[in-house]
Structures are given as structure tokens and as C-alpha cells.
Structure 1
Amino acid sequence: MTSEAETPEPVTPESSVTDRVPPKRVLGLAVPALGVLAAEPLYVLVDTAVVGHLGALPLAGLALGGVLLTLVSTQLTFLSYGTTARTARLHGAGRRAEAVSEGVQATWIAIAVGIVVLLAGQLLAGPVARGLSGDAQIAEQAASWLRIALFGAPLILITMAGNGWMRGVQDAVRPLRYVLAGNGISAVLCPILVYPVGWGLEGSAVANVVAQVISAGLFLHALRQERVPLRPDFSVMRAQLGMGRDLVLRSLAFQACFVSAAAVAARTSTAAVGAHQVVLQLWTFLALVLDSVAIAAQSLVGAALGAGSSRQARGIAGQITRYGLVFGCALGALFAAVSQVLPRVFTTDAGVLAEIPNAWWFFVALQPIAGIVFALDGVLLGAGDAAFLRTATLASAVLGFLPLIWASLGFGWGLAGIWTGLSVFMLLRLVAVVARWRSGNWAVVGAVRT
């Protein structure tokens, strides 16, 4: 495939206001994407509530095991976000068959990598859990849950690839149906396996795998229906892996932060790690809620650049950023209002409830900042500007989050120190992505970005 890249045009105030898309079109992509993005963390919240009533120890095991499984999946987000960026440009250029073929190749990568993750995870689950927790009982619970849940790893990655190519061709409804089918059945199954069947924490892991089997099967069926060649194309896979390298490094920065936070919380107390699990899962849930608007930005910005209109892409970027800010402010106000009620849904443990306020108000105050950051992440990912996002995220982690996380351990700052680190991390990212957006250097047109 030959490159059609051109020099980006300078930013002008007129381009940011005249080249908007109708709000209905943004909502048509964002609302189904919200359902897809929210389904998994919502299921994890249900899982947390179910397991939380087993006691603080199983909840701590789920917290650590869940972080490790999330580490696996989020390290490979290029299978969704990178695929969307490449597919959207081809779709915008009117080359649908090639756009769908990107999904085929991403699915092959998902299968290969998923099998490797599954096999390696069975060997490493115990040692890694012990190394992170500092508590033998928590490590045992976490490893037991993780070894079962890892059987869903290849299926999680197939679902990511499916979401990626469907978002790129602006088909937002079918992914929602597929993910809801899997997670809905699993949410019903989870409490049955945990309590009446009596499998306890392991029952939640089995329910998690059931969800992945259903969703991945539906995405594979959809790909077959497109009637494009299903054989591997190593040249396309190499190109995907090139973008994937930058997104993996970006994800590594996130995971170094969140795994470090879980490790420090686990070394503080069992109550602290339980409280951190509750607030972190709410943070993850709301991050993906805010990211639903960014998903629309990826698809619309990529299509505009693929069609050769950097002016429209910049207009969409400004529009999406404003939406993100408003959405973030609304979420912050909502969760401030329910601060005395919502934590009790997830646990009745007095120690965990006493620790939650040490993280809660950081979580609330960060929502407007997150609204802008995630919106602009979507814009830049849609433009294929992965190298900039990699560098900005790594720098923010090294300069902001990680020093404060480990200082929290050394000085005994607890959850307040951990969440101060997250706040600095988000502020540094905000400065970086706003500066990049204003520069206009990301708006490079063409069906393929080099």
C-alpha cells in the first residue's frame, strides 16, 4: 500500500468551528461504544460486589488477580485502538474490503499472542502474585483466580480486534450486542457459581471465561460473514505491529503505575487494598465511560483524514474535547453526591469503608481533567499519532506517578499518597495532549499514515 500522506495544514480558528459533525452522529457512535466500554468494568463491579461479601481476603485476591489480568489485556490495546485508526482511514478513503482485512489480520495476531499469554500465565501466576502482594494468603487467592481467568485471554484479544475493525467502519451497534450477550449471561452466572454452587472466588473466574467465549465467538462469526480473505497477510500484520509497539509501550506505562499502586496498597493493609480495589474499579469504569466519546473521535477523525480533510478532522477534535469536558464535570458532580452511599454497595467491611475516603475525593476531582485527556487521546489515536502518545505517557509516568507511588510506601502515606500520584500523572498528560492538539501537527491526511 502506498502512502498518501501530506503536510498538515496550520490550525485556524475557523476550522475548529465550521467543520463540526452533527451531535447526533457523534452520539450514534459514542452511545453504543459506551455500552461496549462499560460492559466489562460493569461486570467487574458486579463481580467485586459479589466477591466483596465473601470478606476482605477474597476481595483482596480479586483486586490483585484482576489487576494482573487487566495488565495482560491493556498491554495489547493496539488490537482495538490501533486497528480502529488504520481501518477508519481506509473506510474514509472508500476501501471497505481493505478496512475489514485489517480486522482479519488483527484477529490472527490476537490468537497467536493470546495462546502465548495463556501458557506463560499458568507458569507465572503464583510467583508474580507473591512478588506483588507481600502477603501469602492474598497471593494464593489471586493466583487461584488468575489461573482460571487466563483461559479467556485469547478470547479477550479476539474481542478487542473485533471491536477495532467494526469501530473503524463505523459499525457501533453489533459490538454492543456481542459484548452484552457475553457479559450479561456471565453476570447472572457469577453469583450462582460463587454462592449456591459453592465455588467461591474461583466461581467468579469461571464466569469471566464464559463471557469471553460468547463474545469472541460472535465476533469471529461476524468476520466470516464479511466474505473477505481470511488467510494471514504478514505484511499487514507487520504494519499493525509497528503501531502496536508504540501503543504497547504506552500501555506499559499505565500498567507500571497501576500494578505499583496495587502492590503499595497491598503492603499497607488488607483493608487498604480492598478500598483501592473499589475506587480503582470505579475509576476504570468512568475512564471507559469518558472514552466512549473518544471512540467516536477515533472513527470520525480517522475517516476525515482518510478522505483527505484535515480541516474537518481538526473541527471534530475541538468538538469532541468540549464534549469530554462537560461529560467529566457531570460525572464528578454525580459521584460527589453519592460518596456516602455507593461504597456500601461493594463491601460491608468496616475497615475497607474507613479507607475509601482517602482515595474517593481524588477520584471525584479528577473527572473533568480525565474528560479532556481521554477525548484528546481519542483524537490523536484516530490520527495514528501513537508515537507522541507513547512518549507523553511514559514521561508522565516516570516524572509523576511512579515517584509518588513508591514514596507513599516509604513514608507511609497510604491511599492518599497513591492517588496524589495519579493526580500528578493526569495533570502532566493534560498539558501534553492539549499542546499537541493546539499544534495541529497530528492532522496528516491519507488512507495510510506513515
Structure 2
Amino acid sequence: MQEMSVDKNLFKKFGKYVSLNMLGMLGVSCYILADTFFIANGVGAEGIAALNLVIPVIQILNGLGLMIGMGAATRFSLTRAVEPKEVVNARATVAFALSVLLSLVFVAIGLFFARPLSSFLGAEGDILDLAESYMRIITLFAPFFMLNFFIQCFVRNDRDPGLAMRGMVIGSLSNIVLDYIFIYPFGWGMEGAAIATVISPIVSLAVMSLHFTSGKNQFAFVNWTQLRQKLSSSRIREEMGTVMTLGLPTFFSELSLGIIVLVFNYLLLSVSGTVAVSAYAIITNLSIVVTALFNGLAQGAQPLISFAYGEGGLEESGEPRDVRRLFRYGIVSSLGMAVVMYTGIVVFREPIAALFNNENNAELTRIAVQGLVLYFAAYPFIGLNIFISNSLSAINKPVQAFVITLLRGILLVVPVTLVLAHYFGMTGIWLSAPVFEALTAVVAVAFWKNRHSRRNVLVKRG
């Protein structure tokens, strides 16, 4: 009876963390979908084609922000029970500084390389001007995006998932409202969409800053003198490496979509031109929303899995009992979500395509409808891969997690897509996603089944 009560409490906690984080991630991803909707109807097909061409850069920016945030927050959860608070805070401060430094690379891109990079990604003519203006504004405000992800991850891991969710949702809602205002009444076009987007993380940060004034926070940033008292120069460098290693699976999970978009854009431009890229933009942005839900599920479960792994009682296998239960909850939830969402996409594929096609382009509709049905067949495997990868990272097995994300983000994408495109044309391009995600899922399941190796000393010695 007592064990059933523990199971019920664990499931309730899982539901709370996961649902709040999924709502937050849904809000964050919906602002990208809102950009696509308002740009499609306010700028036209060229606007959404330009947006799709710069998405790989946006995904890299998001991926780096989440890499540092998730890596540092996972480290925080794994060691908070076994390390002095001052050392834990010093580590968080190192990760924060690393996030700021990486964001400055994107600021440099915005200042000097927005146009040549947009051209390299395939933008030409009027589309090049639209892509350049959007990319420049987004990258100049990169520090706010990266710090937003960092604070979001830490607030959630500091046992305040509700505030993290509210910050993300309020920030995203502000973006949607401002999208409408800037594109329609103000008539700012692509620049308006970009300005609305960069305001979103600023609003989100303002909301989540309440965590540090409420007295609930268990961590706080330290100044340089305190940092050097707790960590030597070599330990600071080591800490940066550890944070990035733990966060690499999350980074490549985000990067994978960027690489897929890049490869698909290239092939679709060669097969059917700009119209195909505009149709794919609909799929891409809907895909970002669906992927965000899977990431929300996985990242919401991460603090609980890390807590259980760092603090829980061990079974004979050497693994805390709650880790296995949390994993089972996550896998069932992920597969259930995938079935429901794919069914909805198949049933409503034509109305979905019509939402982003105010010019009533029949060719755009035909390509988008076919792509929605074939491409989204990958999502049962995508949900599985994302959850297993994040779970392995949460129990301090970043190498296995990294291999999973590397397979689905780089190693399998290019060869599978090129081969299927060569033999089956556009149909092969759409079907490549289910194929390389299914192949990755085979490896992911094998890694999880063989996870019972010696527990990593990182948890014990920090």
C-alpha cells in the first residue's frame, strides 16, 4: 500500500513538471508559428520562404542556449545534494558567463555577416532582402534569447516549474500580439515580425526574475572574487567542458531540425523551386511546435530523473527505482502524444495548409498536403529519440545521449535524404524523416536497455 502511494505521488509530480514545461515550450514554439502565419498573410509566400531559409541559424542559437541551460541545470540537480551550496552557485555563475560569451558570436553575425550568410543559405533577390533583415534583428538580440533559456532551465530545476512556464507563455503571447500590431497596423513586414520576436525573451526574463526576489531560490550568482575562491582557473575550464558535455544532446536535438531544414531547403529548391520551400515552411514551423512538445516532455522530466538518480535508493541493478518508473511514464506519454498529433494532422491537413496560403496557390497546397502526411509519420520515433536522449543525459550518460542526437541530427540525415530523393523525388524527401528517425530509435532503445553500467563518478565527487 505504501509503495502504491509513492508511485501515485511520483506520477503526480511527473504530471506537474511535464505539463507545466510542455505548456511553456508550446508557448515558445507558437511564437514561431505565429510569425509564419502573420508573415504568410501579411508578406506572402516569399516571406515564409525567407523565414524558412534562416531557421537553421535560429535553431543553432536556440540549441546553444538550451545546451548551456540544460547542461548547467542538470549539473545543479545532480550535485546539489552532495556539494556545498557555495560551490554549486559558483558553477552556475560560470555557466551563465559562458552563455553570454557564446551569444556575442551571434551579435557579430548580425553586425557583419547577415547578408552573406542569408545568401549562403539559398536566399536570392527579394527573398534575400527579407531573410537578411529578419536574421540581422534576431542575431543582434541573441544574448536575450540565450539568457532566457538559461534562466528558464535553472528556475525549473530550482523547483519552480510553474514560474518557468508562466515566463515562457507570457513572453510568447506578447510576441503573438506584437506580431499582429507590427505587421498589420504598423506595416513593418518582416522587420516587424523580427522585432516582435526579440521582445519575447525580454518579457519572459522579466517574469522569471521574480524567482530571485521571492526567496524561493536555492541558488544565486556569485561575484568574481567569490568565484575564484571556490573554483581555480583549471576548475572553471573543466566546469565549462562538463556543462557543454551534459548539454550537447539538447544542442544537437535543436540542431538536428536546423540541419534537416537546410538539407530539405537545398533539395526542394533544386526539385521545385521557391514554391516547394514555401510549402515546406508550413511543415517546418508546425514541426517546431510538435517537437517543442516532445522536448517539453523530456525536459520537464529531466529534473525528476536527475533528482532520483542523484538522491534515490538503489535497486539491485544499481539504478534508483524511480528512474525506471519516470522513464516508463515518459515513453507512454510520448507515444500517446505522437499518435494523437499525427491523427490530427492527417485529418486536418488541407485546412492547415490553407491557413498559410492566402494567395490560394494550388501547387503550394498540393506539396504541403503531401508533405504533412508523409513527414509527420516520423513523430512516434522522434518522441522516443528525444525522451531517451534527454533521459540518458539526466542520469549523467552524455556520450550515449550525444550519439543518439548525432545520428538523427547529422550522420543519417544527409545520406538517407539524398538517396531517397534521388530514387523517389519529392516523395523520397518527405519519407526520409521517418526512415532516419526509425533507424535512430533502434540505437536509442539499445542504449537505454544497456544503461546499467557503473554510476558516473561525477555525481559523487562533483
TM-score range, shorter chain: 0.7 to 0.9
Query: Is 1:298 equivalent to 2:302 in the alignment?
Result: yes
Q: Distance in 2 between matches of 1:263 and 1:72?
A: 21
Instruction: Tell me how far 1:376 sits from its aligned partner.
Output: 1.4
Query: Is 1:321 equivalent to 2:324 in the alignment?
Result: no
**Residue 202 of structure 2: which of 200, 208, 213 is its match?**
213
Instruction: Tell me how far 1:371 sits from its aligned partner.
Output: 2.6
Query: Is 1:258 equivalent to 2:247 in the alignment?
Result: no
- Which AA in structure 1 matches 2:352? L
Instruction: Tell me how far 1:151 sits from its aligned partner.
Output: 2.3
> Is the alpha carbon distance of 1:219 and 1:447 closer, same or farther for their aligned partners in structure 2, counting shifts above 3 Å?
farther
Q: Which residue matches 1:4?
A: none
Instruction: Tell me how far 1:97 sits from its aligned partner.
Output: 6.1
> Is the alpha carbon distance of 1:57 and 1:229 closer, same or farther for their aligned partners in structure 2, counting shifts above 3 Å?
closer
Q: Which residue matches 1:52?
A: 40
> Is the alpha carbon distance of 1:363 and 1:333 closer, same or farther for their aligned partners in structure 2, counting shifts above 3 Å?
same
Q: How many residue pairs align between the two structures? A: 433
**Residue 311 of structure 1: which of 320, 336, 346 is its match?**
320
Query: Is 1:423 equivalent to 2:452 in the alignment?
Result: no
Q: Which residue matches 2:239?
A: 239
Consecutive unaligned residues of structure 2, counting only runs of 5 or more, are: 228-232, 314-318
Aligned pairs for 1:44-443 within 5 A: 44-53=32-41, 54-91=43-80, 93=82, 99=88, 101-133=90-122, 135-220=124-209, 222-223=211-212, 226=217, 228-232=220-224, 233=227, 235-236=235-236, 238-245=238-245, 246-247=248-249, 248=251, 252=255, 254-267=257-270, 268-309=272-313, 310-312=319-321, 313-349=323-359, 350=361, 351-407=363-419, 413-414=425-426, 416-441=427-452
1:301-345 deviation per Cα after TM superposition (whole angstroms, max 9, x unaligned):
100111144232223222322222222222222222222222222
1:171-213 deviation per Cα after TM superposition (whole angstroms, max 9, x unaligned):
2111112222222222111111112111111100011111122
> Is the alpha carbon distance of 1:285 and 1:116 closer, same or farther for their aligned partners in structure 2, counting shifts above 3 Å?
same
CA RMSD of aligned residues (A): 2.8
> Is the alpha carbon distance of 1:175 and 1:443 closer, same or farther for their aligned partners in structure 2, counting shifts above 3 Å?
farther
Q: Which residue matches 1:35?
A: 23
Q: Distance in 2 between matches of 1:390 and 1:447?
A: 17
Instruction: Tell me how far 1:100 sits from its aligned partner.
Output: 5.3
Consecutive unaligned residues of structure 1, counting only runs of 5 or more, are: 1-14
Q: Distance in 2 between matches of 1:102 and 1:219?
A: 20
Instruction: Check the 8 A contact 1:21/1:316 in 2, yes or no.
Output: no
- Which AA in structure 1 matches 2:297? V
Per mean C-alpha deviation after superposition, the further-off stretch among 156-165 and 90-99 is 90-99
Q: Distance in 1 between matches of 2:453 and 2:344?
A: 34
Q: Distance in 2 between matches of 1:95 and 1:355?
A: 57
Instruction: Check the 8 A contact 2:52/2:284 in 1, yes or no.
Output: no
Q: Distance in 1 between matches of 2:93 and 2:210?
A: 12
Query: Is 1:25 equivalent to 2:13 in the alignment?
Result: yes
- Which AA in structure 2 matches 1:432? V
> Is the alpha carbon distance of 1:317 and 1:48 closer, same or farther for their aligned partners in structure 2, counting shifts above 3 Å?
same
> Is the alpha carbon distance of 1:178 and 1:121 closer, same or farther for their aligned partners in structure 2, counting shifts above 3 Å?
same
Q: Distance in 2 between matches of 1:442 and 1:322?
A: 25
Q: Distance in 2 between matches of 1:299 and 1:238?
A: 23
> Is the alpha carbon distance of 1:44 and 1:362 closer, same or farther for their aligned partners in structure 2, counting shifts above 3 Å?
same
SS at match of 2:350: coil
Q: Which residue matches 1:8?
A: none
1:192-242 deviation per Cα after TM superposition (whole angstroms, max 9, x unaligned):
111211111110001111112222344456447647342254635642433
Q: Distance in 1 between matches of 2:242 and 2:405?
A: 18
SS at match of 2:412: helix
1:51-72 deviation per Cα after TM superposition (whole angstroms, max 9, x unaligned):
0012111111122123322222
1:53-100 deviation per Cα after TM superposition (whole angstroms, max 9, x unaligned):
121111111221233222222144212221232122134558666555
1:370-416 deviation per Cα after TM superposition (whole angstroms, max 9, x unaligned):
232222122112112222122233244555210233456666823x3
Instruction: Check the 8 A contact 1:86/1:168 in 2, yes or no.
Output: no
> Is the alpha carbon distance of 1:320 and 1:98 closer, same or farther for their aligned partners in structure 2, counting shifts above 3 Å?
farther
Per mean C-alpha deviation after superposition, the further-off stretch among 296-305 and 87-96 is 87-96
TM-score normalized with structure 2 length: 0.85
> Is the alpha carbon distance of 1:80 and 1:223 closer, same or farther for their aligned partners in structure 2, counting shifts above 3 Å?
same
Instruction: Tell me how far 1:101 sits from its aligned partner.
Output: 5.0
- Which AA in structure 1 matches 2:383? G
> Is the alpha carbon distance of 1:398 and 1:57 closer, same or farther for their aligned partners in structure 2, counting shifts above 3 Å?
closer
Instruction: Check the 8 A contact 1:402/1:421 in 2, yes or no.
Output: no
Q: Which fold has the larger relative contact order, with Cα–Cα distance below 8 Å and residues 6 or more apart in sequence?
A: 1
1:257-305 deviation per Cα after TM superposition (whole angstroms, max 9, x unaligned):
3322233334431111111111111111111112222123211110011
Instruction: Check the 8 A contact 1:102/1:165 in 2, yes or no.
Output: no
SS at match of 1:80: helix
Instruction: Check the 8 A contact 1:186/1:211 in 2, yes or no.
Output: yes
- Which AA in structure 1 matches 2:375? F
